Amino acid sequence: MSEAPPTAPKRSRIQQRNRKRILEAALDVFSQHGYRGSTLDQIAEAAGLSKPNILYYFSGKEEIHVTLLARLMEAWLDPLEQMNANGDPLTELLGYIRRKMEMSRLYPRESRLFANEIIQGAPRMGGNLETGLKPLFDEKCRLIQDWVDAGLLAPVDPAHLIISIWATTQHYADFEAQVRVLIPDNEAAWTAAQQHVETMFTKLLAP
Amino acid sequence: MSEAPPTAPKRSRIQQRNRKRILEAALDVFSQHGYRGSTLDQIAEAAGLSKPNILYYFSGKEEIHVTLLARLMEAWLDPLEQMNANGDPLTELLGYIRRKMEMSRLYPRESRLFANEIIQGAPRMGGNLETGLKPLFDEKCRLIQDWVDAGLLAPVDPAHLIISIWATTQHYADFEAQVRVLIPDNEAAWTAAQQHVETMFTKLLAP
DNA sequence: TCGTGACTTTACCAAATGGTAAAAAAGAGA
DNA sequence: TCTCTTTTTTACCATTTGGTAAAGTCACGA
């Protein structure tokens, strides 16, 4: 029996609450230990439910993980989608960078969940990368290329620009354990990071 | 019985050969599946040895992983160590970036092993981060700060500069699965990436 | 308040997995 | 060749882990 009817996902209040709990707990556990490093017992304990009870709401461990990844994908793409073709190029790109930085700071678990999955070759992402990420990536690459061609930005490879924005912003969430050792003052680290990243891309992009 | 006598690690030819095989196989497996995602059976199969035979050379799964991480740390620090205080600042930094990029291209498994470990909170790195990485990081931060103070580089936060160099260069190895989807032509991707990263940091650092 | 379907718990299980004991085999030196 | 040490294999084992069956328990509308 499929647990996610495509037509009507009508779920009772209890179902909504418990599914939410489970996904929240699973995000915690999966992002910290990776897929295989996490156990249903850990997730169950974190969710305050019994293991069989969890399997009443999800068909298995993998389905929980896949559900998390699918939901995450939307949230992840959103800041890029917001980049407006009609705005000022530099402003739009810096806005995107700021939103990305914000996400790293506010949702490090999501970032690490994603990173874990990609590093291991994205075995559970299905076609999400091709069907979700790629089209948007290509679209925004064309947009940036147009801006460059119009002389509104310094010449830059759009694809690698986006990739380097991802790299720098996500790094602070994904490699937090390292950053914390190297820059002990966490508060200061984030503001300085914000400053640094903005300066870097401003210098790169100013026409 | 400790397997690594601190005084004399005198190992027979067979020991040397088999330990090497095991570490090579383990690097393959660990970097692809993470610590808990990897099994001794997988490592044994990849090494062409039986599981108990592997446990004849290493006291357990964790010891293999820790050994890999410790070895990796040295290789990882080397490019940064090479950055010379007496050279031209911009040349030295670009040289470092080039070496880092090279390492990502040539040793993606090592990069991913490291990334996996850090993302999960570095539970098996022991004090390697504090005792190995931190001192060198601090030393090079001071060096860069001196260069900035002498007006040889544009004003930049040394710590975040180094971190952003790591982020951009390692991203191509760690997130290879994603990059391959977005930029299908792998050959072109690397040369364009090299170009992009160099341009980016040149613009950031030129005084 | 009673019955029915939604939800939970208890008691399991089979497979996988890290690891061990001890016997067998293979080397190496005399 | 014979002996002693190193290396490898065979046969296990205890625990963990994802998952199931089935017997409860609960909530809510009639």
Instruction: Estimate in Å the CA A196 to C1' D26 gap, whole number.
Output: 57
pLDDT higher at B137 or B5? B137
Rounded Cα distance between A66 and B184, Å, is 25
B56-71: per-residue pLDDT in tens? 999 999 999 999 999 9
Yes or no: say if A36 and B34 are a contact pair by the CB < 8 Å rule: yes
What is the third-level CATH fold of A12-58?
Arc Repressor Mutant, subunit A (1.10.10)
Radius of gyration of chain A (CA): 19
Radius of gyration of chain B (CA): 20
Nucleotide nearest residue B49, measured CA to C1': D8
B27-60: per-residue pLDDT in tens? 999 999 999 999 999 999 999 999 999 999 999 9
Yes or no: say if A113 and A30 are a contact pair by the CB < 8 Å rule: yes
Q: Could you tell me which residues come within 8 angstroms of residue B49 by beta carbon, excluding any fewer than 6 positions away?
A: B18, B21, B22
**Per-domain boundaries in chain A:** 12-58, 69-205
Residue B27 has a pLDDT of 98
Residue A10 has a pLDDT of 58
Residues in B touching A194 (Cβ below 8 Å): none
Lookup: tokens for A186: 């966490």
Please tell me which residue of chain A has the smallest CA distance to B109.
Answer: A119
The domains spanning B12-58 and B69-205 adopt the same CATH topology: no
User: Terminal CA-to-CA distance of chain B, rounded, Å?
Assistant: 57
Residues in A touching B33 (Cβ below 8 Å): 36, 120
B34, B161, B199: residue with CB nearest A37: B34
Does the pLDDT value for residue B186 go beyond 90? no
Residue contact A32–B181, C-beta within 8 A: no
Residue contact B163–A182, C-beta within 8 A: yes
Nucleotide nearest residue B63, measured CA to C1': C18
Does the pLDDT value for residue B2 go beyond 70? no
CB < 7 A contacts with chain C (nucleic strand): A 12, 14-15, 18, 49-53, 56; B 13-14, 38-41, 51-52, 55, 59-62
Long-range contact set of residues A131-135: C-beta below 8 Å, sequence gap at least 24: A132/A73, A132/A74, A132/A77, A133/A73, A133/A77, A133/B178, A133/B181, A133/B182, A134/B181, A134/B182
Residue contact A193–B119, C-beta within 8 A: no
Nucleotide nearest residue A17, measured CA to C1': C7
Residue B13 has a pLDDT of 78
Of B59, B98, B55, the residue nearest B79 (C-alpha): B98
- Give B7's pLDDT tier (boundaries 50, 70, 90): very low
Residue B15 has a pLDDT of 82
Residues in A touching B159 (Cβ below 8 Å): 182-183, 192
- How much is the average pLDDT of B128-155? 97
- Nearest chain B Cα distance for residue A189, angstroms: 9
Rounded Cα distance between B200 and A196, Å, is 13
A34, A130, A167: residue with CB nearest B181: A130
| Helix B89-106 with B158-174: angle, nearest 10 deg | 20
Q: What is the 3-state secondary structure (H, E, C) of chain B?
A: CCCCCCCCCCCCHHHHHHHHHHHHHHHHHHHHHHHHHCCHHHHHHHHCCCHHHHHHHCCCHHHHHHHHHHHHHHHHHHHHHCCCCCCCHHHHHHHHHHHHHHHHHHCHHHHHHHHHHHHCCCCCCCCHHHHHHHHHHHHHHHHHHHHHHCCCCCCCCHHHHHHHHHHHHHHHHHCHHHHHHHCCCHHHHHHHHHHHHHHHHHHHHCC
pLDDT in 10s for each residue of chain A, 207 residues:
333 333 345 577 778 899 999 999 999 999 999 999 999 999 999 999 999 999 999 999 999 999 999 999 999 999 999 999 999 999 999 999 999 999 999 999 999 999 999 999 999 998 899 999 999 999 999 999 999 999 999 999 999 999 999 999 999 999 999 999 999 998 889 999 999 999 999 999 998
Q: If you search the block for the tokens 């497996």, which residue do you land on? A: B29
- Nearest chain A Cα distance for residue B50, angstroms: 23
B68-115: per-residue pLDDT in tens? 999 999 999 999 999 999 999 999 999 999 999 999 999 999 999 999
Structure letter (DSSP) for residue A162: H
Instruction: Estimate in Å the CA A18 to C1' C7 gap, whole number.
Output: 11
Residue contact B182–A159, C-beta within 8 A: yes
Residue contact A118–B182, C-beta within 8 A: no
Does the pLDDT value for residue B3 go beyond 50? no
Percent of chain B with pLDDT over 70: 95
Q: Could you tell me which residues come within 8 angstroms of residue A44 by beta carbon, excluding any fewer than 6 positions away?
A: A25, A50, A51, A53, A54
CATH number at A69-205 = 1.10.357.10
Residue contact A195–B157, C-beta within 8 A: yes
Yes or no: say if B180 and B172 are a contact pair by the CB < 8 Å rule: no
Q: Is B5 left (phi over 0), alpha (psi -120 to 50) or beta?
A: beta
